[in-house]
Amino acid sequence: MQKNRNEEDFSIRFAEKEDVSLILSLIKELAEYEALLTDVSATEELLKANLFEKKTAEVIIGEYQGEPVAFALFYSSFSTFLGKPGLYLEDLYVRPDYRGRGFGRKLITYLADLTCEREYERLEWVCLDWNTSAIQFYRKMGAIAMEDWTTYRLHGSALKNLASHF
């Protein structure tokens, strides 16, 4: 499915293999904003393999007057309780000079439409606790915080250590 939506000078498109360097650049900008740049180990080769060859995630790019100004990376999830898939938004980023123009809302609205079109049940994501502007933005759209849930992660040596005991 290749779904483009144009509104005024802002358009949303699915990323293509040729966008890998742009995607990595946007990921690094997001990581810098979140003070997590040192955690980025993604490379163009990894993104190319995982996004476009293995297709483990998808990316949409928001362009204003033909210039890339935003992106969202997402993938399918699954709810065992509902017995249906959902869409999980891993990252959404709008470049600082373009914030406050409704582009983030347009990206999430696009993903909500895509979620419904695919007959998925949920659109979910996490947000850093300190990012109050994002939290307010999400609440205005009707999103609710899952306050009874805590995200856990196995990563790096802890993941490998546990896996080695299988």
* 123 and 152 Cβ atoms separated by less than 8 Å: no
Confidence (pLDDT) at 2: 44
Residue 92: partners with Cβ closer than 8 Å, 6 or more residues away:
70, 71, 72, 104, 107, 108, 125
What is the C-alpha to C-alpha distance for residues 81 and 95, in angstroms, rounded to an integer?
A: 37
Query: In which band, very low, low, confident or very high, does the pLDDT at 1 lie, cut at 50, 70 and 90?
Result: very low
Helix H segments across the chain?
20-33, 44-47, 103-117, 132-140, 156-163
pLDDT of 3 over the 50 cut: no
Please tell me the total count of domains within the chain. Answer: 1
Among candidate residues 64, 88, 120, 138, the one labeled active-site is 138
Evaluate whether 58 touches 51 at the Cβ level (below 8 Å).
yes
Give pLDDT tens digits for 63-98. 999 999 999 999 999 999 999 999 999 999 999 999
What local confidence, expressed as pLDDT, does residue 153 receive? 87
pTM exceeding the 0.85 threshold for the entire prediction: yes
Q: How confident is the model at residue 7 (pLDDT cuts 50, 70, 90)?
A: low
138 is catalytic: yes
Which CATH number goes with the domain that contains 33?
3.40.630.30
pLDDT per residue over 87-128, tens digit each? 999 999 999 999 999 999 999 999 999 999 999 999 999 998
What is the number of other CB atoms lying within 10 angstroms of the CB of residue 31? 17
Which 3 state secondary structure label does DSSP give 130?
A: coil
* Count of CB atoms situated within 10 Å of the CB of 120: 19
